[in-house]
């Protein structure tokens, strides 16, 4: 179904699963192939994700993000609050750490606090962006959400983390790029508002992987060559045959497991997956733009956020980028932004990378 048709029926198609990090088909595979305990955790998570979809619609009706900070001469000011849901599904829960407070003994609280901070600092320092909405949005996160909840999501106004089932998945605060991924959904929602369907949805997902990975690279001061380009490393327990949820360097290679199945991501348009599941395979086909970004970053060398990231960030903010953009439309704007920001060498590198993943950006 075309995005415009869906929009006419339901309003804008935005992250219907609350922008969660795990695609529903992965959870469905666990529900099919896992043991009883794994199945229960996956089914509980799927059920809750479904409920969240409805509550998210309500949230949007009630109004957008709640609290915006002041942005004055002092520049961007972080304002983080971490809450504890105490294993309930009530948001946001009780305050357990506010901005400036010292670290306590709860590793999830500390990882959430640090991850929000790292993402805020990255966007502020690399792109002069004042928080998710570029207007000083306070960053809120809730940990210990639900019981054995196998997911993390951005609900349009805050981050929410499950503890994982401690069988297939560790705690969802464990990967910095997952936190960066989720918060970037907020940035994309504020800028391009790419619909969460088909190619535009895969671009939405890819942008979250791109900037999620860059947050991690920025903290680690890694060059494009040094970075692992993995999304969600550490999320899987030792029981799972896999290193992460996705690989931007080698899409399709992140996991191959009897319960979770095989990483379904293509790295090229020749492998584009046509499906009605997961909003047209938004977590699957994102492998194609992900790999294009990786190729640009490696071709240009150095810190990926400086050139490749800047080109993608400029494209995300480009007023010509439509909410229903295709890969090709996005790629063409990348080429133009590369030339505008840097020059012919960078323009050619971007054109070549998109061409290598099967997207003609020069025509
Ligand atoms: Zn996502």
Asked if residue 205 has pLDDT above 60, the reply is yes
What is the average pLDDT across 281-286? 96
- Average pLDDT of the residues in 228-243: 97
Domain ranges of the chain: 15-189, 198-356
What confidence tens digit (pLDDT) does each residue in 35-46 have? 888 888 888 888
Identical fold between 15-189 and 198-356: no
Please say if the pLDDT value at position 337 is more than 90: yes
87 labelled catalytic? no
CB 99: neighbour CB atoms within 10 A? 15
Q: What is the pLDDT of residues 101-111, one digit of tens each?
A: 999 999 999 99
Q: Phi first, then psi: what are they for 151, rounded to 5°?
A: -170, 170
Whether 283 is a known active-site residue: answer yes
- How confident is residue 241, by pLDDT bands cut at 50, 70 and 90? very high
Of 182, 191, 205, 346, the catalytic one is: 182
Residue 14 pLDDT: 61
**What spacing in Å lies between the alpha carbon of 344 and ligand 1's midpoint?**
32
pLDDT of residue 52: 66
Share of the chain above pLDDT 90, in %: 75
pLDDT at 72: 42
| Interval 9-19 mean pLDDT | 53
Express each pLDDT in 51-76 by its tens digit.
Answer: 665 555 444 433 344 445 444 445 67
Average pLDDT over residues 239-247: 97
How close is the Cα of 19 to the center of ligand 1, in Å? 5
Q: What pTM was computed for the model?
A: 0.89
Residue 258 pLDDT greater than 90, yes or no = yes
Report the pLDDT value the prediction gives residue 47, as an integer from 0 to 100.
Answer: 79
Q: What is the mean pLDDT of residues 119-133?
A: 96
Average pLDDT of 320-349? 98
Alpha carbons 88 and 52: distance in angstroms, whole number: 14
Going from the Cα of 13 to the center of ligand 1, the distance in angstroms, rounded, reads 14
Residues 245, 251 contacting (CB under 8 angstroms): no
Q: 131 CA distance to ligand 1 centroid (A)?
A: 18
Could you tell me how many helices (H) and strands (E) the chain has, helices first?
11, 9
pLDDT at 160 exceeding the cut of 60: yes
pLDDT at 320 over 90: yes
CATH second-level architecture of 15-189? Roll (3.10)
For 198-356, CATH number out of 3.40.50.2020, 1.10.390.10, 3.40.50.300, 1.10.287.470 equals 1.10.390.10
Out of 17, 138, 185, 283, the active site residue is 283
Q: E-strand spans in the chain?
A: 80-84, 94-98, 139-145, 152-154, 159-162, 230-231, 246-247, 256-257, 261-262
Residue 306 has pLDDT above 90, yes or no: yes
Residue 280: the pLDDT is 93
Q: Percent of the chain, pLDDT > 70?
A: 88
CA of residue 185 to ligand 1 center, whole Å? 7
Nearest Cα residue to 90 out of 27, 172, 158? 158
């Amino acid at each position: 179904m075309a995005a415009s048709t869906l929009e006419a029926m339901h309003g804008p198609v935005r992250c219907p699963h609350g922008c969660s990090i795990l695609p529903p088909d992965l959870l469905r595979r666990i529900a099919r192939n896992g043991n009883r305990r794994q199945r229960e955790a996956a089914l509980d998570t799927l059920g809750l994700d479904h409920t969240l979809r409805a509550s998210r619609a309500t949230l949007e009706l009630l109004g957008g993000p709640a609290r915006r900070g002041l942005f004055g001469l002092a520049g961007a000011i972080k304002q983080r609050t971490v809450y504890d849901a105490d294993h309930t599904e009530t948001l946001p829960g009780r305050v357990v750490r506010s901005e400036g407070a010292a670290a306590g003994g709860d590793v999830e609280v500390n990882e959430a606090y640090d991850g929000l901070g790292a993402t805020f600092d990255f966007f502020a320092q690399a792109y002069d962006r004042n928080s998710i909405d570029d207007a000083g949005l306070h960053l809120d996160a809730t940990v210990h959400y639900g019981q054995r909840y196998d997911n993390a999501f951005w609900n349009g106004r805050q981050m929410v983390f499950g503890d994982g089932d401690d069988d297939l998945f560790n705690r969802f605060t464990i990967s910095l790029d997952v936190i960066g991924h989720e918060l970037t959904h907020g940035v994309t929602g504020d800028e391009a508002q790419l619909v969460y369907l088909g190619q535009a949805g895969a671009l939405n997902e890819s942008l979250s992987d791109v900037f999620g990975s860059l947050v991690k690279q920025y903290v680690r001061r890694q060059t494009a060559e040094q970075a692992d380009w993995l999304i969600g490393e550490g999320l899987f327990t030792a029981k799972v045959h896999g290193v992460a949820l996705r690989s931007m360097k080698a899409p399709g290679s992140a996991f191959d497991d009897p319960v979770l199945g095989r990483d379904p991501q293509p790295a090229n348009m020749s492998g584009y997956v046509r499906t009605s599941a997961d909003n047209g395979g938004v977590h699957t086909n994102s492998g194609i733009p992900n790999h294009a970004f990786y190729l640009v970053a490696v071709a240009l060398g150095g810190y990926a956020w400086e050139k490749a990231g800047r080109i993608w960030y400029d494209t995300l903010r480009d007023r010509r980028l439509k909410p229903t953009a295709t890969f090709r439309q996005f790629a063409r704007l990348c080429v133009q932004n590369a030339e505008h920001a840097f020059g012919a060498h960078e323009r050619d590198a971007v054109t070549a990378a998109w061409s290598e993943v099967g997207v003609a950006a020069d025509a």
